[in-house]
Amino acid sequence: MPKQEPMDRARDELFSHIHRCGVLEANVDDQDSWMTETMGYLAERYPDLGEQELVQLKAVGMRFCQPVISRLAPEEPVGHPVLGPPKEA
């Protein structure tokens, strides 16, 4: 098994922390604060990472926190692009 680079190990650890800490459910400001604190922790754990790598790691972590599909329910039913809006009952 090939040895992982420090950036790869730090990224994997960050993703694990994101899942375990419930930060996915937090608002964006709280996610940013959490991510900043976590970058300090990861900088200590992985001293080989430079400032630019930590900036990249934070950006990857913030993107990872953004849902592909919104967790919020839509306010109104959305119509089908070909069939049109839903018919009222």
**Is the residue at 75 inside a domain?**
no
In a domain, 55, yes or no: yes
CA 7, CA 43: separation in Å to the nearest integer?
11
Comparing CA positions, the residue from 27, 49, 52 lying closest to residue 41 is 49
27: in domain:
yes
Return the pLDDT at 89. 56
Between 58 and 87, whose confidence is greater?
A: 58
CA distance 21 to 79: 37
Let me know if residue 76 belongs to a domain.
no
Give me the chain's average pLDDT, please.
83
The answer to the question of residue 28 being in a domain is: yes
Number of structural domains found in the chain: 1
Examine residue 71 and state whether it is found in any structural domain, yes or no.
no
Per the structure, the complete domain to which residue 12 belongs is given by 6-65
Which pLDDT does position 81 carry in this prediction?
57
Question: Is 72 part of any domain?
Answer: no
pLDDT cut 90: percent of the chain above it = 57
